[in-house]
Structure formats: structure tokens, C-alpha cells
Amino acid sequence: MSETFTKSMARNIYFGGSLFFILLFIGLTVDTTNRMPKQDHRENLTAQVALGKHLWDVNNCVGCHTIIGEGAYFAPELGNVYKRRGGAFIKAWIKSQPTGAPGRRQMPQFNFSDEELDAMVAFLKWTSEVDTNNWPPNIEG
């Protein structure tokens, strides 16, 4: 086979393949840009949502939880927890931690004020409104 496969053939395969994948990349980039929602979700940001995001970051919630698929897989996905459980449940759950149930992972007690709890709920509500193209396929994640 080495007699029929020449350097010019290898070069043509290399450049042809490179051109193909560059065009494919550009095409997929254009397709993604066209499919993105026209309305930017950031316009719904409030000071309360920003405080909730700040609390999320400062307390390293992403160290255990995922949010829209990003983060650790130690604890449940919280991208759609507001839709699943509602704001009152989220507040009560955070206040009741740790539960002390044997054999279960425990969330620490953060001792949030009522204002901080409201901000965390606002942030999780805002996150649940992000268009994720129907992912996860069921509401329980």
C-alpha cells in the first residue's frame, strides 16, 4: 500500500479533512446562534436574584449540587427545584438542615436570614425559568 499512497495524497486528505471540519464548525456555530432565544433571560435579573446568586457562590452550593447540569453530583439538581417543590418548601428545607436522618447525606445549616432565604428562592426561581430546550426530560431531573 505504501507504493500507492503518496505524500500528495496524504496532504490532500489532511487539507480536505481540515477544510471539511472547519466548515462543519462554522455551520454548527451559525445554527446554534440562530436557535438561541431572541429574548435574553438576563433582563429578568433583580437585586434579590443577584443576592441569591451571591449566596450560592459564597456558600459553595455548587460543591454539592448541580444547577442546569453544572456542578457536583453529590446532591440533587436544583435547576428546576422551584417548579418541583415551590418557594415555601425550599425555605423550610434550608431552615430544617441538617435533618439528622441516619444514612442520608446532610446539608449544612447556613443560618440564612429571611431576606437571604427569599433571595435564594428568587435565584432558584429565576434559574427554573431558563430555557433549557426541555432538559431534563422529566421534572424530577
Q: What are 11-26's pLDDT values in tens digits? A: 999 999 999 999 999 9
Whole-structure pTM value:
0.72
Cβ(35)–Cβ(94) below 8 Å:
no
Average pLDDT over every residue of 66-94: 91
Q: Is 33 exposed, middle or buried (0-12, 13-18, 19+ CB in 10 A)?
A: exposed
pLDDT band at 134 (very low <50, low <70, confident <90, very high): confident
Whether residue 135 has pLDDT greater than 80: no
Task: Write the CA distances from 90 to 23, 38, 39, 104, 119, integer angstroms.
Answer: 47, 31, 28, 18, 11
Average pLDDT over every residue of 32-46: 74
75 closest CA partner among 46, 97, 95, 48? 97
Average pLDDT over every residue of 126-137: 82
Host H or E run for residue 63? none
